[in-house]
Amino acid sequence: METEAYTGDADPASHAFRGRTRRNAVMFGPAGFSYVYFSYGMHHCLNLTAERPGRAGAVLLRAVEVMAGEGIVRSRGVDGVASRLMSGPGKIGRALGLTLVDNGLDLTRGPLGVAAGDPVEDQAVAAVPRIGISRAVDLPYRFLLLGNPSVSVGVRRRVRATAPGRADPGSRSRSGSRER
């Protein structure tokens, strides 16, 4: 599991930084809803809203494990090793068959949902800089589950070589930012 958080007006990398728009309105609603947007003209990305109504906040799903339905994921054109089928926001969108119609879905009910899993210890989670953005890269809002084969390959290798729960401060991500 790998996620990346985006807050509202305090986060220049957030879609909600400049306020509420038609595109980002769901980010200002209650927690537990989908915020789906089209990125780079090719990927539908899935975020989960994570704030109280009126305050923007969402968490981008960067990597998740396929727990069931591997055949469905593969039928949507996602190939590779099972643990890497949903190892990126674009792959997640493609694997789930997301479109902009899925924006604003209540993820606590309905066909697309999120369920709580087993709790993990703090030492099993690493906080690393966000990627794919040019502003607020240094905010410690990207989290990954240590040892999980679905997370970003480069970060997984660097974090494995350091103490649990921390990334190597001297390493760099693909975007060139320093890992913390």
Q: According to the model, what pLDDT value does residue 172 have?
A: 36
Q: Tell me how long the chain is.
A: 180
**Domain-located, residue 78:** yes
Q: Note whether residue 85 is domain-resident.
A: yes
User: What range defines the domain where residue 92 resides?
Assistant: 2-102
Total domains present in the chain: 1
Q: Is residue 25 part of a domain?
A: yes
Residue 61, domain member (yes or no): yes
Q: pTM, whole model, 2 decimals?
A: 0.81
User: What does the pLDDT profile of the chain (180 residues) look like in tens digits?
Assistant: 899 999 888 888 888 999 899 999 999 999 999 999 998 888 999 999 999 999 999 999 999 888 888 888 888 888 888 888 888 999 999 999 999 999 999 998 877 777 777 888 999 999 988 887 878 888 888 999 988 888 876 665 555 544 445 444 333 333 333 322
The domain that holds 88 is classified in CATH as 3.10.300.10
Could you give the C-alpha distances from 177 to 2, 74, 123, 158, 172, in angstroms and in order?
18, 33, 23, 14, 5
Asked if residue 68 belongs to a domain, the reply is yes
173 domain-assigned? no
